[in-house]
Structure 1
Amino acid sequence: MKFILILPMIVAVSSARKLDEKFAWKELDFAWPSEEAKQEAIRSGKYIESHNLPLGLDIWQDKLFITVPRWKSGVASSLNYVKLSELERSPVLYPYPCWEAHDLPHDVPSTEGDANYGGGRTDAKGAEKVENILEKNNETIVSTFRIRIDECDRLWVMDSGLADILGSPKQLAPNSIAIFDLNTNKLIRRFIIPADQVKEDSFFANIIVDTQTSHCGDAFAYLPDLGSYAVVVYDFKNDHSYRVKHNFFHFDPLQGDLTVAGVNFQWTDGVFGMALGKPTNEHGDRTVYFHALASTKEFSVPNTVLKNETFATSNDAYFAYTLLGDRGPKSQSTAEHYDDKTDVIFYTQINRDAVGCWNINKPFTPENQGLVDSDSDALVFPNDLKVDNDGTLYVLSDRMPLFIYGTLKSEYNYRILTGKTSEIITGTPCA
């Protein structure tokens, strides 16, 4: 009798702690200067509603930043924000830092067929090279996939400089890091990744920032190169970068077959998701967790390795990397984020329409992987996630495979979901 009574309670607790919808869009719209400006953008082809797909996010105070990569022509603005206090279900996006930073003279509808796409790897290596538009406006954001806000109120933007990726790719600017002061909305610095650190298949779609509030000037950024299997490390203090290679940055050839929303495709994306553990001393020493997208395995390396250029780029560093374990079948992931309040790493589950979790104090085994939420409607292709300073998880889902390989229906395709980390792990192995 006791078992019969307890079981429904357990089910109720589990279902009551699923993620909640914060925002949802059928298609994205923007805070245009005027209705006339919007209509002119539509007429000229600079704004094509169905070509605007949200991909990355991060949170600062009342701003939820959302990226919109230029997969196709007609993307109005690649870096934007909405206000968390907004009450509308589908709020308009505000371009950041301003509209002028997203005015691209060459962003017009293409007339050629789509480029081949294999995850992060495209035919962009043959992209038309246009004059560097950063020479006219250094604040310009061409196309960004993921961003990171650090403890020092700085927004770090990995800008690929590439427009119309799936159509007629145009390299409007070199790969670069743009760093903004969120208190003033001014550009602090633009760092161009040296040409010899960008390979033929390079594709930079993520950025991780390693710093502490008391040492803002000593920041490092880690840029996974998912297309040519390396990590570019940027030293903010010395305004210098270097390229680090390792076998663990490659994809698993047995894990590149994916099926999402009935769409089957094969990707070869290497190192992509990265998360930073908590500092263990006053020097900021911590663990860097990482995995390839086309893989189910998780790895780690001390940040002291990546921050030491001489050691990181030598053969001696090979055994400083660790295989933590395997998440299990069909557990490929695009993004991960560590929550220091629960000691849990949250990660996307693109093959399962889900969000997973792992408590770093437990062995990395399939049995210790939890499932926070799974939803074949709201969580179709969870693409990015972050945890804010208050312990709230934000997840962005966007049905990207349908956007690339199929057709999105006239329904709610893009969502932001949230949940308190301490609550959503209840009843999972992560608690």
Structure 2
Amino acid sequence: MRRYVSFLTVCGAFAISSAIAPLEELFSWNQIDYTWPSLEQRQDAISKGTFAPENNLPLGLEKWNDKLFVTVPRWKSGVGSSLNYISLKQPIDKSSFLIPYPSWEANTIPSNKTDLKPDHIISTFRIKSDVCDRLWVMDTGVDDILGSYNVVASPAIVIFDLKTDTLIKRYELKKDDAKDSSFFANIVVDVDKDNCNDAYAYIPDLGGYGIVIYSLASDDSWRVEHNFFHFDPLQGDLTVGGVNFHWTDGVFGIALSNKLENGHRTAFFHSLASTKEFGVCTSILKNKTAATTPGNYYAFKVLGDKGDDSQTSASDFDPNSEVLFFTQLQKDGVACWNTKKVLAPENVALVAEDGERLVFTNDIKLARDEPYLYILSDRMPEFLYGKLDQSKINYRIFRLNVNEAIKGTPCAG
């Protein structure tokens, strides 16, 4: 306990119970489809194999104003468009087609690298909008990941102006930012509205066990490595939706606390194949010299353990309640933890659970303009290791009122 309090002082104050809140199902699909320019173009894509509906799995989401962004990584060949959105303007169709963003052209794989344009999105897993109305996209640059593994472009951060739907910048990661085993499936943005140029992106490398930091102001990136970024060898055996699999995914989810008195935040992070949560002050990450100095090993702290079978993909921090929400892959749900309390199983609450509709809660995002948590479930283990039944609903997006969700749980007050 003494060590935990000491960490909070450095960077600001900061058996699972259950209080399941009602889920509002917004969208559901047997298969994903898109708003094609024409029916003829869709049929032509199917005949050529550039669109195979059964190979399109939604994975990441983000909400900005009346747009709900949905990513479709190119796990397999035949993905129509990787970066998309759904309009939330009324009326809403539960089986809405995805609209490519910023355009169809930007989501079309170029025939060769010389045809690659700065706004091209080859394959993205997760995205993040910031308080300056920008969308940050981590483009892996790889098509047909599970098949031919076609490297179309270098891994890159692609930033769009959401008000004009135009490209702001494309930044290719440097060679020393990555390893042969690197896989970049997430991006988190640290910025204040009164200084939009002084923005930082934190990109976890789940395969290479590191975090890449990008500074918009200096247009530079650097890589941080630490033991806490590795997977727990005792927590890589998972069973979800009746599918047993073994993963070695390292650092995966990052969520940022409110701004602290010293002007920085706490970065909460975890590996997917782990049940523990860690933290570090962002002053360490944002300082290139400090971040890459081995002497800063002890600046990274163990915050606690979420409990048995609590492996987590995505997490997000609610600035109003200071509650951290995180997916619960083996429990078909979402849980919460009040960051002002010690992280232990008795302080973790399951706030959403459904053995049919929440199989593999792949991503969650808190809305900035309303008290809702958006949740995407997609049965991904069945997609990766088996075959989804295309006659059934496989993919769903929900929203959950965060205030109602934490009421009566250890996450409240």
Q: Match for residue 3 of structure 2?
A: none
Question: Are the counterparts in 2 of residues 256 and 266 from structure 1 also a CA contact under 8 Å?
Answer: yes
Unaligned ranges ≥5, structure 1: 1-12, 107-130
CA distance in 1, matches of 2:258, 2:19: 28
- Judged with a 3 Å threshold, the aligned counterparts in structure 2 of structure 1 residues 95 and 284 are, in CA distance, closer, same or farther, namely farther
Give the 3-state SS of the residue equivalent to 2:252 in structure 1: strand
Structure 2 CA distance for aligned equivalents of residues 354 and 221 of structure 1:
28
Instruction: Give the drift of 1:14.
Output: 4.7
Moved more, 407-416 or 63-72: 407-416
Give, in whole Å, the separation in 2 of the partners of 1:284 and 1:210: 11
One-letter code aligned to 1:406 = G
Report the Cα distance in structure 1 between the residues aligned to 2:303 and 2:68, rounded to whole angstroms.
32
1:418 equivalent to 2:396? Answer no
Map residues 195-344 of structure 1 onto 2, 5 A cutoff.
195-281=175-261, 284-344=263-323
- Partners of 1:18 and 1:332 lie apart in 2 by 23
In the alignment, the residues of structure 1 paired with residue 351 and residue 301 of structure 2 have an alpha-carbon distance, to the nearest angstrom, of 26
Which residue of 2 is the match for residue 92 of structure 1? 97
What's the offset of the Cα at 1:284? 3.6
Give the percent of matched residue pairs that are identical in Structure 1 and Structure 2: 53
- Candidates 27, 38, 49, aligned match of 2:31: 27
Indicate whether 1:429 and 2:403 are aligned: no
Secondary structure of the structure 1 residue equivalent to 2:213:
strand
> Take 2:405 and 2:24, find their aligned partners in 1: how far apart are those partners?
10
> Counterparts of 1:219 and 1:181 in 2: how far apart (Å)?
14
Offset at 1:136?
A: 3.5
- Larger RCO (alpha carbons 8 Å, 6+ apart): 2
User: Is residue 2:80 matched to residue 1:76?
Assistant: yes
Q: Deviations over 1:276-295 (max 9, x none)?
A: 000024x6411000000000
SS in 2 for 1:299: strand
Matched with 2:10 is none
- Following the alignment from structure 1 to structure 2, what is the Cα–Cα distance between the partners of residues 19 and 297? 27
Listed one character per residue, the Cα deviations across residues 175-195 of structure 1 (whole Å, up to 9, x for unaligned) are 000000001111100000011
Deviations 1:55-90 (Å, cap 9, x if unpaired)?
000000000000000000100000000012342111
Q: What is the match of residue 170 of structure 2?
A: 190
CA distance in 1, matches of 2:200, 2:99: 28
CA distance in 1, matches of 2:322, 2:205: 27
2:107 pairs with 85, 99, 102, which one? 102
1:227 is displaced (CA, Å) by 0.2
Query: What TM-score results when the alignment is normalised by the length of structure 2?
Result: 0.93
Letter in 2 for 1:189: K
CA distance in 2, matches of 1:192, 1:14: 44
Q: Does 1:132 align with 2:132?
A: no
**Contact 1:341 1:391 (8 Å CA) reproduced:** no
Deviation at 1:427, TM superposition (A): 2.4
Note the aligned Cα RMSD (angstroms).
1.2
Letter in 2 for 1:256: G
- The one-letter amino acid paired with 2:35 is A
Alignment partner, residue 48 of structure 2: 44
Matched, 1:162 2:162: no
Question: Separation in 1 of the partners of 2:406 and 2:47?
Answer: 48
CA distance in 2 between partners of 1:318 and 1:338 (Å): 25
Q: Distance in 1 between matches of 2:241 and 2:77?
A: 25
Show CA shifts across 1:311-347 (max 9, x none). Answer: 1100121010110000011000000000012211100
The ranges of structure 1 where at least 4 consecutive aligned residues each deviate by more than 3 angstroms after the TM superposition are: none
AA matched with 2:329: I
Q: What residue in structure 1 maps to residue 7 of structure 2? A: none
| Alignment match, 1:58 | 62
Distance 1:84 1:387 in 2: 16
Q: Compute the TM-score of the two structures, normalised by the length of structure 1.
A: 0.89
Corresponding residue of 1:111:
none
Conserved 8 A contact 1:290-1:298: yes
